[in-house]
Amino acid sequence: MRKINTKLICILLCIVLFLTCGCQKNNVSVSSGEDTQGEESGEDKKTYKLSKAGEIIIDDVDFSFYRKNTEDNNARVFYEIFVGSFSDSNGDGIGDLRGIINRFDYLNDGKPESGTSLGIEGIWLSPIFESPTYHKYDVTDYYSIDDEFGTMDDLKELVALAHKRGVKVILDTVINHTGDQNEWFKEFCSAHRHDDYENPYYDFYCYSDSANVPGRSFKKIASDDEYYEANFSSNMPELNYDNEKVRETMLDVAKYYLEEIGVDGFRFDAAKYIYFGEKGPNIEFWKWYVGELKKIKPDIYTVGEVWDSDNMVVDYSEALNCFNFNMGQTDGQICTTTKHGDVNKYVSYVASFIARARQKNPDAMIIPFITNHDMDRAAGYMTVASNFAKVSANLYILGPGSPFIYYGEEIGIKGSRGSEATDANRRLKMLWGDGDTVKDPKEATYGDSRQTNGTVAEQFANENSLYNHYKKLIMIRKANPEIALGDYKPLSFSDTKVGGFLATYDGKTVAVLHNTTENPQTVDLSTATDVQFSGVVAYAGVGSASLDGTVLILEGQTSAVLR
């Protein structure tokens, strides 16, 4: 047996303790579980002040190029709120409109340069109309706010507050179908049972004398020999838009919320199903419907859910903007580029999509997003620890059009359907960390222990947190309006994955460059553009950026804005 040198061991232990203590000074970050918020490199890292609420104040975004007159447009950052899971104001465990009102300072404090608010510019509210289900996509009454969520007065107050802060509000409006508890459907069923052809609701819904219609789903009308169409669920009967009364009725619903409540527009659910499997009639319908609404509100914000190929989405652009589903999910453009992909291919794709959409409609916008309430949460496959969560945010927030953030994406909330037969796992409670009583939907099975990225409260004071990263990105985008509003021109570099684009608006041009690799990259801008830039005005990500003449040095997993 070897003799143990106790004196030597004591000396070594002292050295280890000294080094360990020396590495812990000046650290204002808060631990947030196993998926640690990505760390920035460099000894001269920026140190931010804390607000009275204990939140990092982002004060290093240059707003000298910010123009307030560029705010009144629809190329803005939206935030999807699944209302029942966001914030609970009355202790019943269900998120509500009053909860959103109470949390508005978190969303937007009305001060673009404050550095203490997420800074979103639009809100998409999931369905809030009366309904028997937690998701509310089966509407019982379009003129009544569901009791779980509040009142019409609450909605009016929310809209008024949003407008005061420069935020637009759109409602998730389901007009392809209603719920089977809707009085219209009850009248429809009664008319068919009694062969009451004079009943104005007899032809209100799609029906057939057979359930065997290829590619479509029909359910039997109780105590009758006929069947109603229900392609999504038996409790979601489909409206018949060949009936002029249906068209006018559903147009009146939208008019009411525009004129009486003051909302700014709508997200239209299942937009390609108005006429099942008939693209042409669908597009013509939406051209009519949106056209009628524009007579009331010329700057209305509308976006359709056309979950399909780019070709299909581009075709629908003739009538209304639609979400770009090819950008999101695990195999989408954002994710594949984020994971050390070639940015040159990404910006080329974006430019191509915009050009194709604008051939159909010169006012068309690209509507990028990573996930929504029908998809697995992105934090499960673009993790915070890998910095993929930050890189993905860079790619679509610092880009054209109107990007949509799914609530909680900015703090890395996880959630997936997995083997469970419920989307509730994708719609879990917002993790506030301050005693908010909001709970997961009753159908959810995704345990709290699987949430490892921390709460809002924990991320507030962590300058490297995903929340503060999103906050800074939105500030950069707002401070440089060319990014959202400018003519988009992709840059093409050879032998590198670094890529980006030029955006020109009102005679001014910026360049946005992304490095998705983990290592610093150097690119000579003169090989891709003749535009001269004086310097880097902003950067975001894991590292930093610098410009020496035409040569840009961009650290790994970092993006930069040049002017």
Residues annotated as part of the active site: 269, 305
Q: Quick one: CA torsion of 181, 184, 188, 193, rounded to 10 degrees?
A: 50
For 281, counting Cβ atoms within 10 Å of its Cβ (0-12 exposed, 13-18 middle, 19+ buried), the class is middle
Coil, strand or helix at 156: helix
DSSP string for residues in 375-420: S--GGGTS-TTTTHHHHHHHHHHSSSS--EEETTGGGT-----TTS
Listed residue (145, 140, 178) closest to 159, CA to CA: 145
Closest by alpha carbon to 472, among 118, 226, 138?
118
Q: State residue 253 phi and psi, 5-degree precision.
A: -60, -50
The SS3 call for residue 347 is helix
Measure the CA–CA gap between 243 and 58, rounded to whole angstroms: 54
H/E run at residue 350: helix 343-360
Alpha-carbon gap, residue 419 to 371, rounded angstroms: 19
- The DSSP output letter for 174 is -
Torsion over CA of 428, 429, 430 and 431, rounded to 10 degrees?
-100
Edge-to-edge strand ranges of the sheet holding 499-505? 487-491, 499-505, 508-515, 558-562, 536-541
Residue 208, phi then psi, degrees to nearest 5: -150, 160
DSSP conformational letter for 448: G
C-alpha to C-alpha distance for 92 and 531, rounded to whole angstroms: 57
Q: Which residue has the tokens 């203490």?
A: 116
